[in-house]
Amino acid sequence: MPMPRPLQIFLFFCLLTAAGVLASPPLALLLGLGIGLLNAHPYPRANGPLVKQLLQFSVVGLGFGMNLQAVLKASQTGLLMAAFTIIATLILAFGLGKLLKIERKTAHLIGCGTAICGGSAIAAVAPVLNANDQEISVSLGTIFILNAVALLVFPPIGHALGLSQAEFGLWSAIAIHDTSSVVGAASRYGNEALMLATTVKLARALWIVPVTLLSAWLFQRQSARVNMPYFIVFFLLASVLHTYVAPVALVSPWLVDLAKLGLTLTLFLIGAGLSLKALRQVGIQPLLHGVLLWLFIAGLSLGAIVFVSGHASG
């Protein structure tokens, strides 16, 4: 049964509001959640693909604001910490899944989403595991709920702890699941935090490939196809153009502003896609699994960042 026309008009009005110059990422997310929890989204099936495409285009757009040398430096900065936290989180996800008696595939998908880059990692790994719709929905629902919370609480925590923009950018890139929420949280903290968070997060997203291959081996599906996140290559290309092509550098600020607008719309659509039905599907145990993993990676990475910064300043 098609949704009443007034609801479609209301959704379009909220979309315009979320796209407004003064709209912040948290406001866009809350507007979307209001629609999703009212089950008022007139096009729920189109929401997921639209979110994915809009996010990828927006991330590429952010590349036009990145200096290539800064991108490479940021990637090196977070490389060791990324490797350690990803491996540790996946091991913990397996152990907690057994302890909480969660289906193995669901526990692994939540672990991949927490360790790497949220919904993108789940979308890449799920076909390798031959996961069913229920397992995928529960995993995505868990990650999206925690994403919404992270976007709202991370900046106040960062300010309360007195984190520098560089420290917050690195922490958010490691401890927040989806790229959209990482960018949303970091943009509220400052431009330096935004640039560092985006580069580290995208470098971390490259781990999708080895983790997908590892998942195929663990679940004995060696013939499964691995989906490469090609949009990261275009992000690097945009960074190269911004760094070395003067005419591109002149228009880069407008492209970056357009990318930020796209990410605000992405957060709105993510909220709109989180319905009451999706929340009920998640259940207490998978949500607890996701929360414990999230607290582990957030606490571990924050402690490491503060420790390294303290030694560097000392």
Phi/psi-derived region of residue 227, left when phi > 0, alpha when psi is between -120 and 50, beta in every other case: beta
- At 8, give phi and psi (nearest 5°): -65, -40
Q: Which amino acid is at 193?
A: A
For residue 72, give every residue at least 6 positions away whose Cβ sits within 8 Å of its Cβ, in sequence order, or none.
none
What's the token pair of residue 36?
């999703």
Confidence of residue 1 (pLDDT cuts 50, 70, 90): very low
Q: Which of 183-187, 206-210, 233-237, 272-276 has the lowest mean pLDDT?
A: 272-276
Number of C-beta neighbours around residue 284 at 10 A:
8
Q: Which of 9-18, 112-121, 129-138, 147-156 has the lowest mean pLDDT?
A: 9-18
Domain range list for the chain: 61-264+281-313
What's the token pair of residue 249?
């550098």
What's the token pair of residue 205?
């997203």
pLDDT 10s digits, 134-187:
787 788 888 888 888 888 899 999 999 999 998 999 899 999 988 888 988 998
What's the token pair of residue 304?
């490491």
8-state DSSP, 226: P
Q: Quick check: 67 and 75 in contact, CB under 8 A?
A: no
Alpha-carbon span 84 to 102, nearest angstrom: 24
